[in-house]
Structures are given as C-alpha cells and as structure tokens.
Structure 1
C-alpha cells in the first residue's frame, strides 16, 4: 500500500489546492490590488481546466505508461503552483492556475485507476478509498493548515507548501511507482455520447446545479462572513465545512449499502444541503450552532457524488467509466461556473449575502430535476 500512499499524497495536494485559494482571496486581492470578485476567478479558472483537461487530452495519453503520465501531470501541477507563488502580475497568476488545473485534471482519474491496479483484488476497495480520501483529507487538514500558515507569514507561503508536497509526490512516484500501461480517461466524444440517454443528462444536470451552488458559495465565503457575521473567523468555518466533508465522504458508502435506494438518498442529501445553505444567515451569529450549517453543507456536498455515480452506473452498465467521468467533469464545470457567477454578483455590488440566495435558487433547480427523475423513473 506504500505505492498507493504516494498517489494519495498527490490527491491530498489536489484537494488542498482546489479549495485553499478561496481562503487566500483577501491576501491575493491585497497583493495585486484587485477586488474580491476578480480574484475569485482564480478559483473558477482552476476548476474549469480541471474539468476539461482529462477529456481533451485523453487521446494523447492512449497507450502511454501510467508512471510517465502521472509524473508529468504532477510535475505540471507543481511547477504551476511555483509560478503562482512567483507571479509578478495577476494575469500570470491566472495563467498559472489554469496550468495547475490541467495537471490536476490529468492526475486525478489516472491516480484512481492506478491505485486499483497496484494491489490485489481483495484490497482494491481500501486502495480506492485511500486514494480518493486523500483529496478530502487535503481539504479537511490542508485548507485550515494553509490558512494558518498564511496568517503567520503570507499567502505565498501556503502555495510554497503545496509546491513542497508536489515535489515529494513526484520524487516518490519516480522512485517507487512501477511503469505499467493503463486505460486513459474516456475521450470527449465518449462522454458526450452519454447525453443521448435522457436519464444520464438529467442526472448530470442535477450534479451541475448542486455544484454551482456549493462552490460558488464556498469561493466567496470570506466576504459573506465579513458582511453577515458579528465576528468572522474564516478558519473555524472552513474547519467545520471540511470535517463535514470528511464525515460525508466516509459515511456515504455505508448509507448506500444500507438504504439500497440511491435516488432516494440523493433526494434526502439535496434537501438537507439546501436547508443547510438557508440556515447560514439565520444561524451565523448563534454561539457554537453557527458552525452547524457549514458542517452539514460540507457533509452533504461531499456525500452527493457517490450515489449519483451508482445511479449512472445503473443507467449505463456497459459505459460505466464514461458516465462516471462525465459526472466528474460536469461537477467541476459547475464549480467553475458557480465561482464565475459569484464574482459577477459581487462586481455588480449586489451584496455578498445575495450569493446565498443564488445558491438556494441553484439548489431549487437541482431539486426540481431530481423530483422529475424520481417521478419518471423508479424510486430506487
């Protein structure tokens, strides 16, 4: 499992990077003299290129040894983070975030595929859990740690920590990861073919609107707290969100096995996620309880993907990898659009609290599609 741990370390860096920039927005804004809405695009551009890199580059990876592809993608990711820390202008910072997104998007699906091939069949579940769990742990532990380092020094110190983690992962994979072929991520045309199945289209759009709400809100958590909270400690709220995400990602597998009705489970998750967002402004100034909506929000956001994947696999059993990969791409695409729309809302000076209302509206769209799916299909 030592080899799998190296992949998990790489996924840790990806989870860390994907969510830390939102917490660093005030510092980046001050460095480049940009407003919060502009700096928020550093989040959206990373997630956008994360979403599109695997399908766009998959044909170029066909037949390539997995060690080389993983090494190159992690190296690109790490160098891009170095450029982020050194960026003399905001434009170069945005370019570096796009490059980091490409590296992350290539690494993630291949790391998951590789982890299953590095162990015996009876250990595949643990290997997959360890690899995927690396990303959620990167969010839970990495983001608060990164914010603490940023408070002690500056936001660039946090990015340099990411670079160090990336270098360790690259050196570890170079030394210990074997060189073997693997199936590249599904090509773009394979993913688009899935839209011909109406059930798949509805399911991925449910994911799309939920991700718009979740990351669009998360990206601008700092200005939201400044506007509506009497005393805002961003790190504590991100701890609550992150621990909720860890709890949700660990528990969802047991809940799927227990309920055996993933559609019903998704409905419950979406309703709970919507209620948690509604409760943010209502509970934000209550002692202790103010962290509860963030914990539930994190738990439901991270828990939603697994039952969605089960549903898609039941729709397309012969194209399972393509449908799951499509859902993953749409999830990150929704995240990018959510962060972009959030920036537009702030640039129009509509108030940060408006982001909560827009997140709820996006969740309503997601729920309407989910109820339509439940009505048209079975309730499993």
Structure 2
C-alpha cells in the first residue's frame, strides 16, 4: 500500500490573528462611547454647562450611530471592506484626538456626532469581515471575538477610563483611546489580508436598502430591537434598582457593574462557541428564554421577597443577565448574516440601528414603569419585551420553511 493511498487529514482551521486588531478597534470605540456617561459631571464642570446639557453628548452619539450607520453603509457600499475598516478606524482615532482638545460644548458635541458616524461604519463592517474570514463552522467564535472587544470595554475599559479621568483628566482618557485606535489601525493595515472577500457585484448594484425586503430580515431586526428594549429597560435604571431594593450605594453598584461586565465577556465567548456548536437559531432561542426568566426573576425578587433573601438573588441574576444578554449577540448576528450573506455590512448596520433604537425605547419604557409602579417593576417590562422577541424567534424557523416550500412550488 502506497503512502499516497493513506487518507490525509486536513489541519484544523484556526482563527485569523487579524481578528485581534478588529477586537482592539471595537474596544477603543466601545470605551469612548460608554465612558462618556460616567464622565458627565466632570465634563459639565470643565465645559461649564449643566449636567443635563452634558447628557446630550450621550444622546447625540446614539442618534448619530442609529441613523448614520445604515446611511453610511449605503453610501460606501461600492468601496472595499479593507480600506473602509482602515479609513474609518483612522478617522475615529483622529476625531478622538480632536475631541481631547475641545474647548467648548459645541466642539465636543460635533466630535461626538462624527464619532458616531465612523463607529457606525467600522463596527458592522468589522463583524461582516470577521464572518467572511472564516468558515461557517467558526463564524460564531469569530463574531464573538470582535464583539468581545466592545464587551471588554464595558467590563474594564469604562472603569479604567473613569479612573484615568480622575487621575489625569478626561482629556488624558481621550488621548489614550486615540492611541489605542491608532495602534489597531496600524495592525489592520499590516495584518488584514489584502485579498479580503468583497461584496458581489450584484449586491453592490442592488438598491441600498433592498436587503430589508429579504425574507426574515425585518422580523430579525424587530427581534434585535426587542432584545435591546428589554435589556435596557432594566440596565438604564440598574443603579436606582439596586439602591431602592437593596440599599446599595455607589461602591455596591460599581461591584455589580463589574460583575455584569465580566459575565458579559464570558457570555460573549460562550455564545460564540455555542452558536458554532449547536446552531444560531437554537442558541438565540435559549438565551432569549433565559432573559425572560432572569428579568422576571429580578422584579419578583425585588417585590415579593424579603431583603435578606432578595440580595443574593438580585446580584446573581444581574450577573446572569450580563451573561445571557451578551451571549445572545453572536447568535443573532449569525442569523442576520445567514439571511443575506452578500449584504452583510448593510444588514449589520440596520441591526445596529435597531439595537440603538431599542436602547432608547427601553430607557423610555423603564422610566414609564417607574412612574407607574416603581423601580421594582422594570424587570417585568424587560421580561415582556424578551418574551415577545422569543415568540418571534420560535416562529422564524417555521416561516423560513414555509417560504422555502413556496419557492419550490412556484419554481416547478
């Protein structure tokens, strides 16, 4: 028997190293975008504006990202993904540097709007590139690495940014973020493959928002919005929730925030692995069910249990919310990419808009719940949103099979 007759085994596929540079870019963007909320008192004092006006910096970034992401994806669809990634992250670094030198509210507000636009270009494109660089078997883990950069920003980057701001001022924090983004830009320029897959010509010539007419895309975007609405109806008011239900002060709330961030990082990694192992639909449904139970359990503990028993349950469930909430992300991203692979950047841009709209809606719904029934009710609101999303998820496979059978029937 010749050696050539022996079966040859292919080496296992490895995740590309350039995913790390994409994750570092996501970390820089995530740190800047989330850090501002914790720096509002410092920014208000330095810029000589009220805290309420300084809070508009958060809103401006969110609106710029939500509205601008799909618009920019449509305008830039003809350009290659590699130059888009490098140019958008370089622009983010330059704008962050400019923001560190702002001498008035208007200058910083303009910088935040521009930062939202370039972030809306980089992050969806980075996710689309990460998915395109690997086989479908590793797609969930690749997406988890990129989105994990933003998760680590919530867990570590935001507290670190606040500490740096207390030590050297908020401008120093911005300078360090600009340096991190510049380093990631250099890494992408040197390490990102030049033969990166481009969008098909047919996709480039299609109308910009035609992907929204693809079967299943709009329901999937609604699911993303409900996921964000449910989560942020609780997360927006978590400090108040912990204070009113458990009597936690700033230190106790900070410890819970850190626990949520660590759990979110673990959940992102576990969600990516489980999506590859068990399938995107199954994992999205599983995480959505967990979120229904977790958010409902938070309100049940706050309203029905004595404080001594409620304390460990609320702290534990808050961390589990971070795990399940961020674990849902890779599965949902894979579902969206699968619906329209050739239009992945536009699909993910629309998904980002849906998420940011959900964050705004969640904040509003949570505020209404507090006015009507007290802060202990925010979990019930979140659970109701997650339950609605779960029902849509359970219906999605049946709808896809029905569409497929109709297509086969029509083609015969």
User: TM-score range with shorter-chain normalisation?
Assistant: 0.7 to 0.9
1:32-111 aligned within 5 A: 32=47, 34=49, 36-111=51-126
Match of 2:164 in 1: 149
Given that residues 64 and 117 in structure 2 are in contact (C-alpha distance below 8 angstroms), is that contact kept between their aligned partners in structure 1?
A: yes
1:253 Cα deviation from its structure 2 partner: 3.9
Alignment partner of 1:169: what SS? helix
Alignment partner of 1:304: what SS? helix
Match of 1:293 in 2: 317
Q: Which runs of 5+ in 1 are unaligned?
A: none
Given that residues 8 and 134 in structure 1 are in contact (C-alpha distance below 8 angstroms), is that contact kept between their aligned partners in structure 2?
A: yes
Tell which deviates more after alignment, 205-214 or 175-184: 175-184
Determine if the alignment matches structure 1 residue 210 to structure 2 residue 231. Answer: no
1:223 Cα deviation from its structure 2 partner: 6.2
Distance 1:39 1:203 in 2: 34
**Counterpart among 34, 37, 41 of residue 19 in structure 1:** 34
1:325 Cα deviation from its structure 2 partner: 4.9
Spell out, residue by residue over 1:313-356, the C-alpha distance to the aligned partner (whole angstroms, 9 max, x if none). Answer: 67x467773655533431133224545x489x59xxx78x9666
With over 3 angstroms needed to count, the CA separation of the structure-2 counterparts of 1:156 and 1:288, relative to structure 1, is: farther
The structure with more radius of gyration: 2
Distance 2:352 2:19 in 1: 21
Tell which deviates more after alignment, 159-168 or 78-87: 78-87
Given that residues 15 and 134 in structure 1 are in contact (C-alpha distance below 8 angstroms), is that contact kept between their aligned partners in structure 2?
A: yes
With over 3 angstroms needed to count, the CA separation of the structure-2 counterparts of 1:202 and 1:37, relative to structure 1, is: farther
Given that residues 312 and 320 in structure 1 are in contact (C-alpha distance below 8 angstroms), is that contact kept between their aligned partners in structure 2?
A: no
Number of residues of Structure 1 aligned to a counterpart in Structure 2: 371
Match of 1:243 in 2: 262
Distance 1:280 1:34 in 2: 40
Spell out, residue by residue over 1:164-196, the C-alpha distance to the aligned partner (whole angstroms, 9 max, x if none). Answer: 2112122333444454464369874124324xx
Match of 1:364 in 2: 384
Alignment partner of 2:129: what SS? helix
Relative to the length of structure 2, the TM-score reads 0.72
1:302 Cα deviation from its structure 2 partner: 0.8
With over 3 angstroms needed to count, the CA separation of the structure-2 counterparts of 1:362 and 1:53, relative to structure 1, is: same
Distance 2:106 2:39 in 1: 17
1:330-369 aligned within 5 A: 330-338=354-362, 341=364, 357=377, 360-369=380-389
Distance 1:125 1:271 in 2: 23
1:201 Cα deviation from its structure 2 partner: 3.5
With over 3 angstroms needed to count, the CA separation of the structure-2 counterparts of 1:210 and 1:363, relative to structure 1, is: farther
Determine if the alignment matches structure 1 residue 140 to structure 2 residue 139. Answer: no
Given that residues 206 and 367 in structure 1 are in contact (C-alpha distance below 8 angstroms), is that contact kept between their aligned partners in structure 2?
A: no
Distance 1:207 1:125 in 2: 17
Report the aligned-residue RMSD.
4.1
1:209-228 aligned within 5 A: 209-215=226-232, 217-219=234-236
Determine if the alignment matches structure 1 residue 165 to structure 2 residue 165. Answer: no
Given that residues 80 and 198 in structure 2 are in contact (C-alpha distance below 8 angstroms), is that contact kept between their aligned partners in structure 1?
A: no
Alignment partner of 2:250: what SS? coil
Given that residues 9 and 169 in structure 1 are in contact (C-alpha distance below 8 angstroms), is that contact kept between their aligned partners in structure 2?
A: yes
Match of 2:406 in 1: none
Determine if the alignment matches structure 1 residue 231 to structure 2 residue 249. Answer: yes
Alignment partner of 2:209: what SS? helix
1:88 Cα deviation from its structure 2 partner: 2.6
1:232 Cα deviation from its structure 2 partner: 1.6
1:10 Cα deviation from its structure 2 partner: 0.8
Alignment partner of 2:39: what SS? helix
